[in-house]
C-alpha cells in the first residue's frame, strides 16, 4: 500500500515536471493535459465517495461492494491508461514539434 502511494506521488511529480518542460519548450502551458489530469482526480474522488455511499445505502455485502468496485474500476482504468498514453503524449509531441518549427523559422 505504501509503495502504491509512493508511485502515485512519483507519477504526479513526473506529470508536473512534464508540464514545466512543455512550457519551457513551447512557451505555453498544456491546458488540455492539465484539464484531463484534474478531471481524473475529481472523478476518482467522486467515484469513491459514491461507491461508499451506495454500499451503506443499499447494505451491500463485502463481495457485492468488491464486484461494484471492479465493474467501475476496470473500464475507468482502461480509459485512464489510454488517455495517459495516447492523448497526453500526442499533445506533448505535437507541441514540441510546433515549437521546433517556430524556432527554425
pLDDT at 89: 66
Average pLDDT, stretch 48-73?
A: 88
Give Cα separations from 73 to 40, 43, 69, 93 (angstroms): 12, 11, 6, 29
pLDDT of 80 reads 76
User: Rounded CA gap, 14 and 23, in Å?
Assistant: 14
Give pTM, 2 decimals: 0.59
CA quadruple 35, 40, 43, 44: dihedral sign: negative
* Residue 78 pLDDT greater than 80, yes or no: yes
pLDDT band at 34 (very low <50, low <70, confident <90, very high): confident
Q: In sequence order, what are the residues at sequence separation of 6 or more whose Cβ sits closer than 8 angstroms to the Cβ of residue 16?
A: none
- Whole-angstrom Cα distance, residue 95 to residue 70? 36
| pLDDT at site 12 | 80
Query: What span, in angstroms and rounded, lies between the C-alpha atoms of 8 and 15?
Result: 11
Amino acid at each position: 500500500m505504501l509503495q502504491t502511494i509512493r508511485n502515485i506521488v512519483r507519477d504526479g511529480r513526473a506529470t508536473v515536471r512534464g508540464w514545466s518542460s512543455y512550457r519551457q519548450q513551447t512557451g505555453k502551458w498544456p491546458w488540455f493535459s492539465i484539464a484531463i489530469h484534474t478531471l481524473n482526480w475529481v472523478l476518482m474522488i467522486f467515484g469513491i465517495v459514491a461507491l461508499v455511499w451506495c454500499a451503506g445505502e443499499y447494505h451491500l455485502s463485502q463481495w457485492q461492494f468488491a464486484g461494484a468496485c471492479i465493474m467501475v474500476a476496470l473500464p475507468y482504468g482502461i480509459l485512464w491508461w489510454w488517455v495517459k498514453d495516447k492523448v497526453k503524449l500526442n499533445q506533448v509531441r505535437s507541441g514540441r514539434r510546433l515549437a521546433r518549427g517556430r524556432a527554425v523559422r
